[in-house]
Amino acid sequence: MPEANYNQVISEIKTLKLSDQLRLLEEMATLIRKKTSGTRPRSIMELKGKGKDIWKGLNVKAYIDEERSSWNG
C-alpha cells in the first residue's frame, strides 16, 4: 500500500468513534489470525546442524580461550 493511502486510512480511522475503532481493531485482529493460522509452529530443532561446517578445521578450545580473553578487555 502506498504511503499516501496508508496515511489516509489512518486519518480516517482517527475520525471514528472509539467504539468503532475498537470494533475495527477486533475485525483486523481476526483477519490477521485467520491468515497466520495456516502456518505451522516452528521448532528450534530445525536449526540443528546448521552452520556446522564453519567449525571444520578450527581448534575449538583455542577459539573459546581467545573469545574469553577478549572479554577482559
* Global model pTM greater than 0.85: no
pLDDT digits (tens, 9 = 90+) for 18-63: 999 999 999 999 999 888 877 778 899 999 999 888 888 999 899 9
- Domain coordinates in residue numbering, the chain: 1-39
Contact, 12 vs 4, CB < 8 A? no
Question: What is the torsion angle, in degrees rounded to the nearest 10, for the CA atoms of residue 40, residue 44, residue 49 and residue 54?
Answer: 120
